[in-house]
Structure 1
Amino acid sequence: MEKASLLEALKNLVQQEDALSVAREVSELRNQFEDVILEEDRQFQIKQLEAKENGETVEERPFDTVREEFYNLHNEFRDRKKSLQNAKKEAEEANYRRKKVLLERMKDVVEKEENIGAAMTAYKEIHDAWKEVGDIPREKRQDIQSEYSRLLETFFYHIKIYRELREHDLHRNHQLKLDVIQRIQELSKVENLKDVEQAIKSLQNEWDETGPVGNDAWESLKNSYWDAVRAVYTRIQTFYDEKRTELAANLELKKEIAKKAIEIVTDFTSTNTKDWDTATATLLALQEEWKKIGFGPRKENEDVWKEFRAACDEFFAKKKTFFDSIRGKFDEVATKKQQLVDRLDEMKHSTDWKATTDQILSIQKEWKNLGSAGQRFEQKLWKDFRAACDHFFEAKQTHFSSKDKEFEGNLALKMELIERIKTTEIPEDKKEALSLLKTFATEFNEIGHVPMKEKDRVFNAYKEVLDGHYKKLKLEGAEQEKMLFQARLETLKGDPNSDRALAREKHDLNEKINRLKSDILQFENNLGFFAKSKGADLLKKEVESKISAAQRKIEELRAKIKMIQ
């Protein structure tokens, strides 16, 4: 075919709208056209060689317009084809992505959708959309179509299983709802209405969450359910009606208590601490009575509580002011006790043993009669006071150490007695055992002093063996406390400085009593500052418990002081 014919054929093909459909024919025309061109080029080269051999002039080759037009047309066609190919590829990729999305939707339907109606609706939408999607890349068609087919197969398998299970579920749901109705009816046997109220809500939720039943059974089940529910709520309503009556009665009781508290605060005035203690006890008793009364209606309960709390707060504020004023007396006592310490410091180096001893004993009595200087001063003053006394009496003890020979004999006697106490079998009868131990204590005390350097060792050894026997008696409670303290007193009487040791023991007990009294005063002040709340009530109970414990301890300490006297 001539070039011109090939050009005309190309013109006809490139005019086709779908360039991709004629691409192969255009490619074949191009190959034919290039074959013709190659042949023309070969013939022209032969002519050039022959002309050279003959010495002839080689003619210039004329410009080939057909060739130029053919290649221009072909290049335009190639560009248009490439553009169409790119567009087709993009469309196929977009279609591929759409089908991937449809696959994911179908996968969710297969794996997650439990409602058969919703599942079928979703399937139809997905299937219609799938059919509308155009071509996708050839290399991906088989995989994506296989996955879609697999999902459809699984889906229809599930549909088949669902239909088989649905009848079973309807029957099972029927039994579950019957069980809920029975448990609602059994709530009539539960006494605690709070438990009933919680249970009925839970059972109603359980009823709602239980799946459907067959249409033929639904009406009967529903009527039985609501009959049972209404019976429970009627009982609950009756309970709350009675509760409102109770709340109103509680409110009246609380108003009466608040009125009494206000009268105490309004009418009470005194400069006597006992009067304040009595008024405090009365107010605390009202608080205890208040706590025993149940709640009243919320708003009215809050109003009357504010009145009661305001009265208590006002009382304890006045009480605090009063007791703050008497704390000035502690400063006065502290000044006087410091003067006694200064006097002791001046005489603690004296060697006039008899006169100085009498003076110090007199100062000790004066110290006792002054009472407490309060927590801020008492401990330091007592430490300084005792140090001055100890300094004098230890010097006095040293002075009389010339009796060492007699003391050595006493040492041997006491060590022999300690060994005898240690090896003695204590009777099982507590009364006999206590009598024997007291005999040992008396015998030990009747033996005279031992050398100063040995007194602590001997006394500690004696105390250790005696304490060991007392522990074996396994005394309990108040009996144990009393007997162990009595044993301690008997032991202290054996101390070389028994008078001073017993006086110190008594002073320590009085100091403990004073500290406990101060603690009780502080606790009582604190009670007036607690707000009405669950947390505050717990704190108040804790403080009240501490007050009771401190009062019991004071009585125990006073009993011990009587034992010393």
Structure 2
Amino acid sequence: MSENDNLQEADGKKETVTEDNTTTKETTLNVEETSKDLAPTKKVNPSEPEHKPSATKTSEINEDKEPTDKEEPSDDKHVDEIEASNAEDAEDESNAERHDVEEKDYHAMSMDQLVNELNRLLKHHKIQTISKHVNQIKSEFNAKFEELLDEKKEEFINDGGNEIDFYYTNDTKKLFNQLYKEYRQNIKSYYREREQTLKQNLENRLAIIEEIKGLLNVEENINTTYKHFKELQEKWRNSGPIPRDKYNNAWNTYHHHVERFYDFLHLNNDLRDLDFKHNYEQKLKIIERAEELAADDNINRAFRELQVLHKMWKEELGPVAKEHREEIWERFSNATKSIHDKRQAYYKDLDKAYEKNLEKKEEIIAQIQTIAEDKINSHGAWQKKIKEIEALREAFFNAGKVPLKVNEATWAKFKDAVRSFNRGKNQFYKNLKKSQYENLQKKKELIDIAEANKDSDDFEVVTPLMKKIQNDWKKIGHVPRRDSDKIWKQFKKACNHYFDRIHAKKKEEHQHLYDAFDKKVKLLEELKSLKLEDDVKSNIKILRDKIAEWKSIGHVPQNKRYIDGKFYKAIDETFDTLKMDKSKLEMVKFESKLENLATDDNDTRKLDNEQNFIRKKISEIKSEINQLENNLQFFSNVESDNPLVKDVHKNIANHKKELDTWKVKLSKVRDMY
């Protein structure tokens, strides 16, 4: 059997000591809480003999004198700290569990996330451990719902609703109310049941004390009395938590009468000595374990297990023989002091680290406050600042713990800074929404104008009006997203209806132009599928006839005039397929082009442009010829049959031939006027 197993036997309770020497028990305290200065409790030192059995008379033993619980506090602060910690847990053995509930940033959560977190707490934690968290969640949820309520109310009023008729809720709010109601019912039930349980446990313990007192007056075999006494001790151990304000007095009374029973037991030394021996052996094991814990580097684990050892020493084991009492208590006290001193040093170093963390967090809070004070007037700038705040929030949570005494104040300061930023952000977007609703009203007014005039026949008056409201629409800013598509479709439909009527009217008035366009489309298709014969003259005549037919069809709508370009491009491509002299072909194509340029009788701009182009071309060719003739002067001493000289003469001849062609073109253009 291991040493830890012996400790469990001595305790007689369902406690476990794990492989890493950590005792699993609900009496452990939170690291931050136990770093506080704890007030010493008034107690009876379990190591000190209160009675001297050898000098005690039977009449003295039978005195029913209760302890006053007014002993002076011990000077051993390291023991006082353990006693105070155990006393704090006396009322509710699950008390320390609340410190294991993870602290989260509820301010950063959405309403849906807050509801999910509340539901998780209710399902996975004891109801008495989550009050602080539930209250924080409730505060954050209500703040966010109030903001949403203000937005919905403003929308309701902007849509023409009366403020006194406004009411809004949603599924998230209903679920939150349901979960919070469940919490309230459960916490009330818990405290009601706990109060009854604590009261009943106290009555049970007092009854046990009375039974122990009564053992001194029972006339029966001492072995039977001793067995009864051990049964009462076991009942005491299993009696459960009692009100904390009654804990010390109840224990001191119990301890007093246990001591009296042991004094009474000196009449049977064998039983007393056997018990003293058992207690001595178990307390030695407790001491040895405490001395092991003094060497443990995990300070918090050592302290938690030390709490359990002290509780076992105090509540589970009786006295030892007089000659060992001072010795074993001194040894246990020294081991406790060693752990206490290490713990104090640990928290001293921890406090220094926490102070540095506090400095970091104060700097982060200051940065958030600075950003919150900035005057931001655009959506893009706000989005940039939101990202900066998110980065600072992350840095705040990663900065580590701060001293416990300023923890809540620092957290409150941080939340106030973030809330200040959020208020500015919300106000900006609230004003933006207000502006969007104003824009919505302006666009609705334009829709009313468009719909009122969409069937008007007074085109001269209404057309400028419709164009104006279209331009005004573009100048008006954004509207709420949910209305954007709807009103745009409504406005577009009214405007399109009006302009479609105009187009239909114009098409009716200019139907001959559309008919001409249809004819030209047909003629163009015929030209593309035309198969020419081998007779060039005949082919030229066919193409000229096509051009004449095209011109005879007349004008087409302004937006359809592109078809003329397509036709003459097709004509040129067809001419290029003819097998004839290049210069002649060029002239035929030019004459065809002139016929196209002369289509508009009252518009000579195209002819003017063509004439200017030809003159420029003639000038360029003349310049080329002059340059080539000048180059020949460099070959004055060179034979005329030199390849370079021959090439220059050839170029001059080609340019002069091209010049003659352009002069003919110029003459033909002049004849068109």
TM-score (norm 2): 0.31
Whichever structure has more helix as a proportion of its residues is 1
Which has the larger Rg?
1
By relative contact order (CA 8 Å, sep 6+), the higher-ranking structure is 2
